Structure 1
Amino acid sequence: MLFRQFILKDEALALVKKLDEGGIEAILGDNKAPFDVTFSGNTSMDKYDVKIRKRDFESADLLIAETSDEAIHDLPNDYYLYSFTIDELYQILARYDEWGEIDIALAKKILTERGENIDDELISIYKKKRLTQLALPEKVNKGWLIVSYFLALSGIYGIAFGHIIYSSNKTLPDGKVVPTYTENDRKAGKIIFYIGLLACIIFLLMKIFINKL
């Protein structure tokens, strides 16, 4: 199951090595960016997935936190996080999934040095809020969704587009899998899928009929 994603392959490989050394089986997978069929305005790039067993998530988080705490001692005094404000450092904790483990550990350290009370309960609250936020389903651009109903009449497009919309899932940092898109969009995706499927069947029957003439 997906544990972390990286843009740089070397960073992903480093995590796989760290987990393996800690006795946690990890594998690296390429995540090629698909065509943005939702036309939601998001641009994607190729990413590298680090996957582990779901039961190892907690152990992996603890292992990374321990090694990160050790690594921050080797950082230079002019490391960029030292120039961050308290609010900016809290944003690192609030959006922990967007930052590296070393930056998270250093943010905690700097905040503590500046007199902030950073404890496990606070971190847990931040994580729960972030997971709730990440679990919220995305909305497909309605304009393109309407256009897709018509394009679905071509057959193949409807099958591909509709299937992605109603079956797409995303994995949260805690390993939980949730639907990517809203319930209404997933229902629309299923309709588009069946329109495309019906169109393909009609085209096939027409071709058979014409060939028999």
Structure 2
Amino acid sequence: MKEEFITFEKFNDQNSAKELGELIAEQNIEFLLEDNSLSFDPTFANNGFGKEYCIKLKKSDFEKANKILADKSENEIHDIDKDYYLFSFSDDELIDVVSKSDEWNKFDVSLAKKLLKEKGKEITPEEIEKNKQQRIVELSKPEEGQKNYIILGYITAFLGGLLGIFIGWHLLTYKKTLPNGNRIYAYSENDRKQGNRILIIGAIFLVFWLTIKILN
């Protein structure tokens, strides 16, 4: 079975995405550059709204690509200006950057490690690995607070709207990608069951209301 390509990084600038692609390609890592940008800018401001470019990798290449970016960041942090915003972070905030490295770019994570080390509060590789595993466990938990979303789904499904069908499909099938490349369902089993019901109801009532409209 051919290995699936999974989103590794997202950008709102195409050149940044291409730079990352070229960097990892130098290490013989296959990638896909996917343009998920909106075809129409509702703001008419031409300011990058709705622009999204994804670099996709095979799950087996995630660790290698992360290592490449980490090494690149290690070399860049020595030339950073002292007015860079991380220099104003407290120790706890810097620790948070390292602990939640999936929420930050590799440069900021590397700089946070360097600043903590200079302050005598270096985080050991063992602690970093432990934090990564704890973070995976935390991110693997189902998304909460879908009650209002589910109610909206049922209402729009009974009205025969496509929105209800979309909500049902989204609740049932949507997956999120963890920092290690694993993909898991984003919502709980119960919410996914609700999504399945909404999807079925939406499809039935869409046909029902279309039939009524045709007969009238």
TM-score tier by shorter-chain length is 0.7 to 0.9
Q: Does 1:13 align with 2:18?
A: yes
Of 48, 57, 74, the match for 1:52: 57
Of 152, 165, 169, the match for 1:163: 169
Code of the aligned partner of 1:30: D
CA distance in structure 2 between the partners assigned to 1:46 and 1:135 by the alignment:
28
TM-superposition CA deviations, 1:86-134 (whole Å, max 9, x none): 1111010111112111111111111111112322111111111222222
Partner residue, 2:28: 23
Structure 2 CA distance for partners of 1:93 and 1:154, relative to 1, 3 Å? same
CA distance in structure 1 between the partners assigned to 2:11 and 2:147 by the alignment:
30
Of 178, 181, 190, the match for 1:172: 178
Code of the aligned partner of 1:87: D
- Offset at residue 144 of structure 1 (A): 4.0
CA distance in structure 1 between the partners assigned to 2:124 and 2:11 by the alignment:
28
Q: Structure 1: which 4+ aligned runs deviate by more than 4 Å? A: 204-208
CA distance in structure 1 between the partners assigned to 2:87 and 2:19 by the alignment:
25
- Offset at residue 167 of structure 1 (A): 0.7
Conservation of the 8 A alpha-carbon contact between 1:140 and 1:185: no
Of 1, 9, 14, the match for 1:4: 9
Partner residue, 2:201: 195
Partner residue, 1:185: 191
Of 131, 136, 147, the match for 1:131: 136
TM-superposition CA deviations, 1:153-188 (whole Å, max 9, x none): 233333222111111111111110011112221111
CA distance in structure 1 between the partners assigned to 2:127 and 2:50 by the alignment:
33
163-172 or 72-81: bigger deviation: 72-81
C-alpha RMSD of the superposition:
2.2
Code of the aligned partner of 1:24: I
Of 68, 72, 96, the match for 1:67: 72
Where does structure 1 lack aligned partners over 5 or more consecutive residues? 34-43
TM-superposition CA deviations, 1:19-74 (whole Å, max 9, x none): 112221222223347xxxxxxxxxx9543221111111111111111111111112
111-120 or 23-32: bigger deviation: 23-32
Code of the aligned partner of 1:188: Q
Where does structure 2 lack aligned partners over 5 or more consecutive residues? 1-5, 39-48
Structure 2 CA distance for partners of 1:77 and 1:160, relative to 1, 3 Å? closer
Code of the aligned partner of 2:202: G
Q: Give me the identity figure in percent.
A: 38
Code of the aligned partner of 2:126: E
**Secondary structure of 2:168's match?**
helix
Number of equivalences: 200
